């Protein structure tokens, strides 16, 4: 029964979003999560088939998203293009989608208004200006193609590029984004299995993995939108699992690979850094893996390997804090937000280093990642996919409100104050929950200490 509800809610969320019913999206997602959890934790104890049941229905939950083109964004079209460009022997860092040099790679799916014989007038290596107005003009969409920002090079790191190329190798051009959608759905199901098995190994109910596998958010951003964040989430969880099992080298390789998929996992380095034990193998290997992943592209594209990253940071307001940190924006002017955000980030990193060994790595990763999202308040809700997985592994379910808040903020794009209030509400929920947990834990620890002294 619970599985049928989860599948139905996932399908309903995707249908609602496709119809433009943004206000209902977060509500449906929350209802789906709450309903699934209620079924999972209130019925009979988990049986031997619990893992298989959770994984099987997680696979079915991904099906509705595969029945239509991506809904929440057009990123998947860029993924398809980047993979195709690599297979042609060119670099997506050296050419922009509208470049006439790559006209032979156009097809009606990606370029409905531009054939291989048409000229776009765009030639030569990409140049990204630093002026915000110029960046905004250059990164505007073009009606001749479904690829977003078709006049600028890619922003995606090397491991993501390898993933795009692998999927493109197996996907016919006529299938468009379907290959990537299927791949993302498969990754989401694989992560469900990993979470369920790891929870079972830790003597926790594996059905908690349904918070990831049955979540309408995951169905919407994996099988539907095919966001590469689902790959980053899988690699991050694998790294955390290996670190827990005392495999620091392998954990470092995976953490570096996660950062080379989506740059945000770099923020998790403090959680894997054991300063007190003088064991820096994991962060050193992670940084080395990240740098090494860029070397082939550096040889092929030179300094162009940074792609559109500087322009993206400018356009998204990270350089001056003008359109970032919506919570801080409720209190501080733009010029002060950047400083405040930086100080908060440094404080959190120091706290993570200090707490290494005092709490599970998954817990540290969870609050580090969640806090980073609350500080920067991105308007792209799929950035929260790794946080959902980390919250499940760590058992810190209060952080699930952050991805839900991201959808409401996404629907409120252009209303900065409203976005700030939405994220602030999520922050309040997180802080209250953590405080209550700490208050419950403190008496128990005190009693344990007294008992130990008596003996």
Q: Convert the chain into a string of H (helix), E (strand) and C (coil).
A: CHHHHHHHHHHHHHHHHHCCCHHHHHHHHHHHHHHHHHHHHHCCCCCCCHHHHHHHHHHHHHCHHHHCCCCCCCHHHHHHHHHHHHHCCCCCCCCCCCEHHHHHHCCCCCCCCCCCCCCCCECCCCCCCCCHHHHHHHCCCCCCCCCCCCCCCCCCCHHHHHHHHHHHHHCCHHHCCHHHHHHHHHHHHHHHHHHHHHHHHCCCCHHHHHHHHCCHHHHHHHHHCCCCHHHHHHHHHHHHHHHHCCCHHHHHHHHHHHHCCCCHHHHHHHHHCECCCCECHHHHHHHHHHHHHHHHHHHHHHHHHHCCHHHHHHHCCCCCCCCCCHHHHCCCCHHHHHHHHHHHHHHHHHHHHHHECCECHHHHHHHHHHHHHHHHCCCCHHHHHHHHHHHHHHCCHHHHHHHHHHHHHHHCCCCHHHHHHHHHHHHHHHHHHHHHHHHHHHHHHHHHHHHHHHC
pLDDT at 411: 79
Tell whether 384 is covered by a domain: yes
Q: pTM higher than 0.85, yes or no?
A: yes
Tell whether 324 is covered by a domain: yes
| Distance separating alpha carbons of residues 362 and 417, to the nearest angstrom | 32
Neighbours of 437 (CB within 10 A): 12
Tell whether 311 is covered by a domain: no
pLDDT at 277: 77
Tell whether 131 is covered by a domain: no
- What's the farthest any 2 CA atoms get from each other in the chain? 86
Tell whether 170 is covered by a domain: no
| Distance separating alpha carbons of residues 404 and 289, to the nearest angstrom | 32
Residue pair 271/368 in contact by the 8 Å Cβ criterion:
yes
Tokens at 329, concatenated: 């924006």
Secondary structure class of 440 (helix, strand, coil): helix
Q: How far is CA 254 from CA 132, 163, 237, 265, 344, in A?
A: 35, 15, 9, 10, 26
Tell whether 366 is covered by a domain: yes
pLDDT at 455: 41
| Distance separating alpha carbons of residues 388 and 402, to the nearest angstrom | 9
Question: Among candidates 264, 294, 249, which has minimal Cα distance to 390?
Answer: 264
How would you write the pLDDT of the chain (455 residues) with one tens digit per residue?
Answer: 555 555 555 455 555 555 554 444 444 454 455 445 545 544 555 566 889 989 998 999 999 899 889 988 999 999 999 999 999 999 999 999 999 999 999 999 999 999 999 999 888 888 877 777 888 888 889 999 999 999 999 999 999 999 999 999 999 999 999 999 999 999 999 999 999 999 999 999 999 999 999 888 999 999 999 999 999 999 999 999 999 999 999 999 999 999 999 999 999 999 999 877 778 999 999 999 999 999 999 998 998 898 888 888 777 766 655 567 889 989 888 888 888 999 999 999 999 998 888 899 999 999 999 999 999 998 888 999 999 999 999 999 999 999 999 888 887 766 678 889 999 999 999 999 999 998 887 654 444 434 444 44
Tell whether 357 is covered by a domain: yes
Domain that holds residue 379: 317-455
pLDDT at 44: 53
* Domains of the chain: total: 1
Tell whether 230 is covered by a domain: no
pLDDT at 323: 61
The CA angle 331-333-336, to the nearest 5 degrees, is 100
């Amino acid at each position: 029964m619970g599985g049928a509800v989860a599948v139905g809610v996932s399908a309903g969320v995707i249908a609602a979003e496709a119809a433009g019913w943004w206000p209902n999206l977060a509500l449906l997602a929350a209802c789906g999560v709450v309903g699934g959890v209620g079924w999972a934790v209130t019925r009979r104890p988990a049986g031997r088939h619990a893992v298989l049941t959770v994984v099987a229905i997680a696979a079915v939950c991904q099906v509705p998203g595969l029945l239509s083109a991506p809904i929440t964004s057009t990123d998947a079209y860029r993924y398809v293009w980047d993979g195709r460009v690599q297979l042609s022997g060119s670099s997506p860092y050296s050419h922009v989608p509208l470049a006439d040099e790559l006209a032979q790679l156009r097809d009606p799916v990606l370029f409905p208004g531009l054939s291989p014989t048409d000229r776009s007038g765009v030639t030569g290596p990409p140049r990204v200006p630093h002026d915000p107005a110029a960046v905004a003009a250059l990164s505007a969409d073009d009606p001749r193609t479904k690829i977003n920002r078709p006049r600028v090079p890619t922003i995606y790191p090397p491991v993501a590029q390898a993933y795009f190329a692998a999927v493109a190798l197996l996907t016919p051009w006529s299938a468009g984004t379907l290959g990537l959608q299927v791949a993302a759905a498969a990754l989401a199901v694989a992560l469900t299995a990993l979470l369920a098995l790891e929870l079972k190994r830790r003597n926790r109910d594996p059905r908690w993995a349904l918070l990831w596998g049955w979540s309408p958010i995951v169905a919407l951003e994996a099988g539907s939108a095919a966001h590469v964040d689902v790959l980053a989430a899988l690699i991050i969880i694998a790294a955390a699992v290996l670190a827990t099992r005392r495999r620091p080298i392998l954990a470092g390789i995976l953490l570096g690979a996660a950062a080379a998929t989506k740059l945000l996992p770099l923020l998790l380095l403090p959680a894997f850094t054991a300063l007190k034990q003088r064991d820096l193998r994991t962060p050193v290997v992670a940084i080395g893996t990240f740098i090494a992943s860029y070397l082939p592209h550096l040889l092929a594209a030179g300094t162009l390997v940074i792609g559109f990253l500087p322009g993206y940071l400018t356009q998204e307001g990270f350089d001056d804090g003008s359109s970032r940190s919506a919570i801080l924006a409720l209190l501080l002017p733009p010029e002060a937000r950047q400083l405040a955000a930086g100080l908060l980030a440094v404080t959190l990193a120091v706290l993570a280093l200090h707490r290494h060994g005092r709490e599970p790595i998954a817990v540290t990763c969870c609050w580090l990642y969640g806090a980073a999202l609350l500080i920067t308040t991105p308007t792209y809700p799929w950035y929260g996919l790794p946080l959902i997985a980390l919250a499940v592994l760590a058992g810190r379910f209060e952080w699930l409100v952050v991805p839900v808040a991201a959808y409401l903020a996404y629907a409120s794009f252009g209303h900065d104050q409203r976005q700030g209030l939405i994220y602030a509400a999520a922050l309040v929920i997180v802080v209250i929950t953590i405080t209550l947990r700490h208050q419950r834990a403190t008496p128990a620890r005190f009693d344990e200490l007294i008992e130990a002294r008596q003996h």
